[in-house]
Chain A
Amino acid sequence: MSDGFEYLKALIVEDNSHMRSLLRALLNSIGITDIAEASQGKAGIETLRLRRPDLVLTDLAMKQMDGLEFTRYVRNDPNSPNPFVPIIMITGHTEKHHVEEARDAGVTELLAKPITAANLFSRIAEIVERPRAFVRCGDYFGPDRRRHRTEGYKGPWRRAEDMEDVEVG
């Protein structure tokens, strides 16, 4: 049986080559093999335009263009190829003010370093299982910052019992 992820394209924006290798290995283990890499935000934007990834993993602290600026570009720039693309921000800066900054930039999920497979997979599961509404409010555009169950969402795989209703080809 396929993994479900094999057609996905991912982009890793991270200035540390060791972290890029770890993330690539973890994505490979769930079946994502089409992975582009960039070592800072500006290169990430170029790659985003060229490769049109379905999932972005970005570091927060990078020189030239950091993960916050990168995320704001993706969400708000008129030239952004996909303002809705899920962005998982990976950071060692887990203090409250950094977390709030990331949330306000429009990240979908936040992942603290040191990374573990379980933590990364749980963030990806959130994106698959509980996609959030997007909100445009004042100068913010991004996933709804209030975490709640989205009423009316027709995704059938939320709960285990829902899975019985899904037709799998």
Chain B
Amino acid sequence: MARRTTDTGAELIEPDDYPQMVSKRDGLRCMQTLQSGRVALKAKTAMASYTPMLRDAIMEYVESLEEAGTDLQRVFAIAHEIRNFAENAGMATAGRVAENLCRYMDEMERVKKPVDPAIVALHVAAIARAARAEEDDAKMGDVVSAELNALVRRRLNDAGVR
């Protein structure tokens, strides 16, 4: 393995001198795969299939968050989980509020200042409200979509369309 030393005394190992994740020949195919529309669609579909599961998980986190009360360590940990997943669950607003709360708590800890419980409580309430509204919106969307679908099928059936 070829190594060289820089002016600053650092030892440098160039990419050609250590094992790469993929060979040069496979590298071309890999790049084509990563940029392919077919693969992007496959990935989007795969992620969408997890949305209902993630939505349930977020609702459980929200309940835990409300129960956490003044246990700030727990509040931070749960808010972080919500921040990590809410957008993937289609609950973007809850995720953004959770992110704001995490940033506030993290920065206050970094500068060794006490966290204001009122700010935490406001965020927790906003996360819960946003998550429930987004859950209701999604459920309402599912119901409306299913009913319209049934209506169209019935009318098409009446019109003799098979």
Contacts and interface: CB of A to CB of B under 8 A. Distances in A.
Contacts of B86: 114
Contacts of A157: 24, 27-28, 31
Interface string A152-169: 111111000001001111
Given A128-B30, A135-B12, 9 more contacts: A25-B50, A29-B39, A95-B106, A124-B34, A131-B20, A133-B14, A134-B18, A135-B13, A155-B15
Interface string A33-64: 00000000000000000000011000001000
Interface of A: 1-5, 7-8, 16, 18-19, 21-22, 25-26, 28-31, 54-55, 61, 82, 84-86, 92-93, 95, 97, 113-118, 121-122, 124-125, 127-129, 131-137, 144, 150, 152-157, 163, 166-169
B159 interface: no
Contact of A121 (B19, B34, B49): B34
A21 B50 contact: yes
A36 B161 CA distance: 50
Nearest to B56: A18
Main SS class of interface, A: loop
Contact of A134 (B12, B50, B85): B12
A18 B15 contact: no
Contacts of B85: 18-19, 113-114
A37 B78 CA distance: 23
Contacts of B83: 92, 113-114
Contacts of B122: none
A25 B48 CA distance: 10
B119 to A, nearest CB: 18
Contacts of B93: none
B84 A31 contact: no
Contacts of A26: 43, 46-47
B118 interface: no
Main SS class of interface, B: helix
A93 B83 CA distance: 10
Contacts of A16: 81, 84
Contacts, number: 163
Interface in B74-118: 80-81, 83-88, 95, 102-103, 106-107, 110
6 interchain residue pairs of minimum CB distance:
A4-B29, A117-B43, A4-B30, A137-B10, A131-B15, A25-B46
B43 A18 contact: no
Contacts of A133: 12-15
Contacts of A8: 21-22
B44 interface: yes
Given A115-B88, A125-B34, A22 B47 contact: yes
A101 B81 CA distance: 21
6 contacts: A22-B88, A31-B33, A84-B18, A114-B88, A131-B15, A163-B31
Contacts of B10: 135-137
Given A26-B46, A128-B21, A135 B27 contact: no
A137 B11 contact: yes
